[in-house]
Amino acid sequence: MSNLNPRQEEAKCHVDGALLVLAGAGSGKTSVITQKIAHLIQNCHIPAERITAMTFTNKAAREMKERVKKLLPSEETRGLTVSTFHQFGLQFLRYELMHTPLKGNFSIMDSDDSKRLIAELMVRDNLSGAERGDMLGKALNMISDWKNDLIAPEDAQKSLDDPEDVIFAHLYELYERHLRAYNAVDFDDLIVLPARILKENPIVRQKWQNRIRYLLVDEYQDTNTAQYELIKLLVGTSARFTVVGDDDQSIYAWRGAKPENMALLKQDFPDLTVIKLEQNYRSTNRILSSANAVIANNEHLFDKVLWSDKGHGEKVRVLTCFDDTAEAERVAKEIVTHRMRHGGTWEQYAVLYRSNFQARPLEAQLRSLQVPYKLSGGTSFFARTEIKDVMGYLRIILNPDDDSAFLRVINTPKRGMGSATLEKLGLFAQELGSSLLVACLHTGLRAAVGAKASHTLQDFAHFIEHYTRELYDNPDPMPLVRQMIVETGYIDYIKADSKTPQQEKNRLDNIESLYQSIARLIERAEDDDERTIDAVIRKLVLLDMLEQQQEEENTNKVNLMTLHAAKGLEFDYVYVIGVEEDILPHKNSIVADTVEEERRLMYVGITRARHELTLMMAQKRRVGRDYKPTTPSRFLDELPDEHIDYPAKRKTTHADPKQIAHEYLANIQAMLAQKRGG
């Protein structure tokens, strides 16, 4: 095992009672967690199958499990659970199905499915404001917040004064009723249902507390109320757990994360031990001093100060540009110049920003200089139309009650089913109390929808029924999955629908990637239950395929990403652009008085840098066709003068952007000439 510093060693060896490891940015928390798991198995003699570790992303879970496997012989890690919260919740629901309102073939609705269902319910019930686009977003957020705060529909309707909230509470009740009717859960349910079962059923609670002898939780500051309750119910009074987190990096309040869960730990577990990891293994001390100075302006339950043994390093630069175009041009040319001067690779550079729109001028400048770049946080794999379509077919096979999947695929490719026909089918299914697919097989279908439509719908239902039997009975389902998608006519539909040969290739390649992922999941399954087609489809809904793709592709490119997407990553040279009021901090946070979270976002940005950090702002920024003058971010005033190089503070005149561009071009030409001469 690699060497740990004294604080890390203390965290590793503390196994009796509740432990909070306050892990500053770059303090080696993953090493602590993985070595602690190895310590629990080898030295504390806790079997791997009695240890559970939870985190928030598939990538983090994969990395953690791989690192544990490098520390121990494979037979000692067999049965170890390292998963995301949602994967754990899915497994829990499979084991405790009898205590849920679900049948075994339940579906998981993604955010797109939930959005479509709520939109339909708003229109169907003639709810006030259904025609307003913002109402749908508000309804989704409110329902998710209620769920994550473990508030049931009937409780949400109590003591509401705002007419809009009353509408949302009514929608919440309808939404939950439809989920159960569809034999489906949404992502929130994967945490909420296990938490409710554990809370309400003492026998199940006792069973799981006995089953999990030690629990570890990473990124604890990102937990919401439901996740905190789940943790508390799993550990019980024995409190044999370690949570690792950093309240200064809690940047997901908009997703329900509650950094105050750290304070709750002290209340619920009075004997809680707190160990601070303050030695940073990533950055120079000037970068860390800047991060410490900024975050010191937030209120803290636990104080900590990051330090490193990597020396002072370069001063943090603060650059002011004429406008956002000049800002993008300066960044692009600096990266080219810096790389030519110092050697190295493109992937050592990252440009971070608060909002996605800031990347557009930057992309144009990098393309003009032929600099390869990677834009993170784009469309996720599962958000692609062709993947959602193929998954729709797989979901309806898994769960005949999945009306959302039925509606997605019945006309993809076109089968001549108009909205009027589907409305008649929906009313007929309601009369029967059945799903749309089951209604397609009923003897009364012809009277409900007409002869021609009933023939098409029955053919479709028989087709699905046939492949359901075949896939469940076949130990090697992959060839059947391919055959089924071809027989639907979907591949021909893609070829006819694609506007260019390249688009057709991309879409077919994406479907092939999905097939490969299904095959890999079947191969990697640790037991027979995990190899079934339904287990694999459920896992796929939860997987973030984008992460896998990014790891596999050529990564020698400049990294462009939001500050949120950058969390957990590190780069040698970091540029943070748009450090201005109304951008960072964002104007919404200023209005809502949530600037503390924006300051944590700034802290995350600063602590991504290993060697050099540059903070940039524009004097004016384009808004539509006009330019709007900007104000430097308040966070720049919080930086320590002795560690920053901020020319605009020393002089009020600003260089002409054309002059800056000319000087940089001259530098590049001089270096090229020097290189040729050498």
Task: Give catalytic status of residue 249 as yes or no.
Answer: yes
Q: What is the pLDDT of residue 131?
A: 57
Check the CA dihedral 530-408-515-67 and report its sign: negative
CA dist 396 and 105 (Å) reads 10
Mean pLDDT value across residues 92-118? 85
* 9, 30, 116, 213: the active-site residue: 30
Residue of 7, 12, 29, 147 with catalytic role: 29
Q: Greatest CA separation found in the chain? A: 87
Question: Which pLDDT belongs to residue 552?
Answer: 45
Average pLDDT over residues 504-522: 84
User: Measured between alpha carbons, how far is 243 from 251 in angstroms, rounded to an integer?
Assistant: 18
Give the integer Cα–Cα distance in Å for 38 and 134: 49
- Residue 413: φ, ψ to 5°: -75, 175
Asked if residue 305 lies in contact with residue 7, where contact means CB atoms within 8 angstroms, the answer is no
Q: What is the pLDDT of residue 663?
A: 61
Which of these is catalytic: 96, 110, 188, 219?
219
Q: Which residue has the tokens 């652009």?
A: 577
In this prediction, residue 455 carries a pLDDT of 94
What average pLDDT does this structure show over 26-38? 94
User: What pLDDT is stored for residue 629 in this prediction?
Assistant: 93
pLDDT at 545 over 50: no
Helices (H), 525-656: 528-531, 533-542, 545-552, 563-566, 587-592, 595-606, 634-637, 647-650
Q: Quick check: 548 pLDDT over 90? A: no
Provide mean pLDDT across the span 482-494: 91
**Per-residue pLDDT reduced to its tens digit, 156-174:** 888 677 777 888 898 999 8
Q: Which of 235-244, 408-417, 602-611 has the lowest mean pLDDT?
A: 408-417
How would residue 581 be classed by pLDDT, with cut points 50, 70 and 90?
very high
Q: How far is 85 from 218, CA to CA, in rounded Å?
A: 10
What is the pTM assigned to this prediction?
A: 0.79
If DSSP codes are grouped into helix, strand and coil, which group holds residue 410? coil
State yes or no: is 271 an active-site residue: no
Residue 676 pLDDT greater than 90, yes or no: no
Q: Given this model, what pLDDT does residue 653 score?
A: 42
Q: Which two tokens stand for residue 329?
A: 């041009």
How many Å apart are CA 442 and CA 648, to the nearest integer? 76
Quick one: average pLDDT of 537-551?
Answer: 55
Q: What is the pLDDT of residue 542?
A: 63
352 band by pLDDT with thresholds 50, 70 and 90: very high
| d(C-alpha 191, C-alpha 147), whole Å | 9
Is the pLDDT at 395 greater than 70? The verdict is yes
548 in active site = no
How much is the pLDDT for 209? 95
Taking residues 332-355, report their average pLDDT. 94
pLDDT range class, residue 547, cuts 50, 70, 90: very low
CA neighbours closer than 13 Å in the CB half-sphere of residue 544: 19
Using DSSP's 3-state secondary structure scheme, residue 123 falls into helix
Considering 176, 188, 218, 229, which one is annotated as catalytic?
218
Task: Please say if 320 is a catalytic residue.
Answer: no
More confident residue, 660 or 149: 149
Average pLDDT of the segment spanning 111-131: 74
Distance of CA 211 to the CA centre of its chain: 29
Q: Which of 319-328, 480-489, 492-501, 524-533 has the lowest mean pLDDT?
A: 524-533
Residue of higher predicted confidence among 368 and 334:
334
pLDDT in tens, 277-308: 999 999 999 999 999 999 999 988 788 999 99
Choose the catalytic residue: 232, 608, 610, 621: 608
| Two tokens, residue 212 | 């999990």
- 29 labelled catalytic: yes
Residue linked to tokens 């950055």: 283
The CA distance from 51 to 81, in Å, is: 6
- Asked, as a colleague might, if the bond just before 413 is cis with ω within 30 of 0, I would say yes
Residue type, 672: L
Residue in the structure block whose two tokens are 């309804």: 139
Q: What is the mean pLDDT of the chain?
A: 86
pLDDT at 1 over 50: no
Cis-peptide into 153, omega within 30 deg: no
Question: For residues 242 and 36, is the Cβ–Cβ distance under 8 A?
Answer: yes
> 265-278 pLDDT, tens per residue?
989 999 999 999 99
Question: Any catalytic annotation for residue 62?
Answer: no
Specify the pLDDT at position 2.
58
Position 546 scores a pLDDT of: 39
3 state DSSP class of 620: strand
Point out the least confidently predicted range of 2-16, 220-234, 529-543: 529-543
pLDDT band with cut points at 50, 70 and 90 for residue 544: very low
Bridge partners for 375 per DSSP: 560
Residue 551 has what pLDDT?
46
Q: How many CA atoms lie within 13 A of 576 on its CB side?
A: 27
CA distance 399 to 406: 10
Report the pLDDT value the prediction gives residue 667, as an integer from 0 to 100. Answer: 63
Cα→Cα distances 211→18, 46, 65, 269, Å: 18, 11, 20, 21
Residue 479's SS3 state is: helix
Long-range contacts for 435-441 (Cβ within 8 Å, ≥24 apart)? 435/181, 435/182, 435/400, 435/401, 435/402, 435/403, 435/406, 436/403, 436/406, 436/407, 436/410, 437/396, 437/400, 437/401, 437/403, 437/406, 437/461, 437/464, 438/400, 438/401, 441/465
CA-CA distance, 525 to 450, in Å (whole number)?
Answer: 46
Tell me which of 249, 358, 421, 488 is the catalytic residue. Answer: 249
Crossing angle (nearest 10°) for helices 225-235 and 202-211: 70
pLDDT score of 130 more than 80:
no
Lowest mean pLDDT: which of 209-213, 539-543, 544-548, 597-601? 544-548
Conformational region of residue 450, where left means phi above 0, alpha means psi within -120 to 50, and beta covers everything else: left
